[in-house]
Amino acid sequence: MHRTRVIPGCILTLILIGWPLFAQVLDYQGQLSGWYSVNRSDRTLNLYGLRYIPSFAVEKMFSDNKAVNLEASFNGYRNGQFETLRNVDSEGEIKPYRLWIRFATARFEARLGLQKINFGSATLFRPLMWFDAIDPRDPLQITDGVYALLFRYYFMNNANFWIWGLYGNKHTRGWEVYETRKNSFEYGGRLQYPLSAGEIGFSFHQRQMSFNYMSFPQMKLNEEVSYENRFAVDGKWDVEIGFWFEGVLTHQDNPLLPFVWQRSATLGADYTFDIGNGLNVMSEYFILENSREALGKGEGLKFSAGSFSYPIGLLDRVEGIFYYDWENSEYYRFLNWRRTYDHWSFHLMAFLNPDKNRIYQNQAGNNLFAGKGVQLMIVLNH
């Protein structure tokens, strides 16, 4: 299967007009990756994939530390699965990965186009995963971008202020259950402020939701507009150990939904022990609840997570991520041995998980780590 994604015309026009203004291409990079996995859950599956991401970047510097940047990259992949060589199922796609233009000064930047927007302090479980879908077990950290206009201003005291507007992003992202209404506008903002030995942040976002008529036949889908409002606070400090938290309260204003409030929070810490080459250990506790009232009793997920990272010499590193699902009394286990050269990296991964994943459900490739199995990945960066 081959698909292409339509680029909003105004963004593409601006980039095509701006590209000839630059004297030369300053940077071209590419990432070629391939993987093969044997996955055993209710049956044994062989999974494979090949991906190439070429990236072009140009920059024009002006006086007074002003600059204009352009970046264009594309994600082309083919992956599939088979039980026997006579029954191979595969699909492929070529789509824009990043496509944006940016104007920046020493304290301000404005970026328009298909871009990655993420913030917050959590790593393994991110309530503030609003605009991406990154699985921390993925060595490549692949995630689709969003079409957006983003403004950021940086103050003298290291505080910074964000304002964003999104358009043309229909599919679910992060922890979303319902898609965004087609051709609707989203907006929000964020303030990060230094506090003691760390910083604290406040964020807001509003979008319009789209519902499946088969799930909600009583709704007049062409007439009703249902808004979702998200309010968040997060912070991070480094006092002997690293410590952080994220909390999000979400309200969905349609009374026909089974739950109209969602609460999610993560509390985490990390520390690097002076053992050998340095053993970094991280731990997070995550809770997600849906309820009829903002502070009422709810139902959802509760997870504990931990990770470690240890360098073995100059080329090798061993990493592990472990989860415990308190509601279903299930463990998730993941190990990765990585060897890195100048341009090449090799990953040998092993996992032992439940057959049905209940974490990172909106992330692409999440099912690669369902059940138990091993995966080999080879990556070339040039």
Q: Which residue has the tokens 């402020």?
A: 193
Two tokens, residue 191: 């303030």
pLDDT in tens, 148-184: 999 999 999 999 999 999 999 988 898 898 899 988 9
pLDDT in tens, 85-103: 777 788 899 999 999 999 9
pLDDT at residue 249 in the model: 97
The pLDDT of residue 4 is above 70: no
pLDDT, residue 131, reads 95
3-state secondary structure of 15: helix
Q: What are the DSSP E strand ranges found in 253-382?
A: 261-273, 279-291, 299-312, 316-325, 330-340, 344-352, 372-381
CA distances from 193 to 165, 196, 339 (A): 22, 10, 38
Residue pLDDT, tens place only, 36-78 = 999 887 678 889 999 999 999 998 888 788 999 999 999 999 9
pLDDT tens digit sequence for 330-360: 999 999 999 999 999 999 999 999 988 778 7
What pLDDT was estimated at residue 20?
57
**For residue 5, what pLDDT band results from cuts at 50, 70 and 90?**
very low
DSSP state of 18: H
> Is the predicted pLDDT of residue 21 greater than 60, yes or no?
no
pTM of the model: 0.88
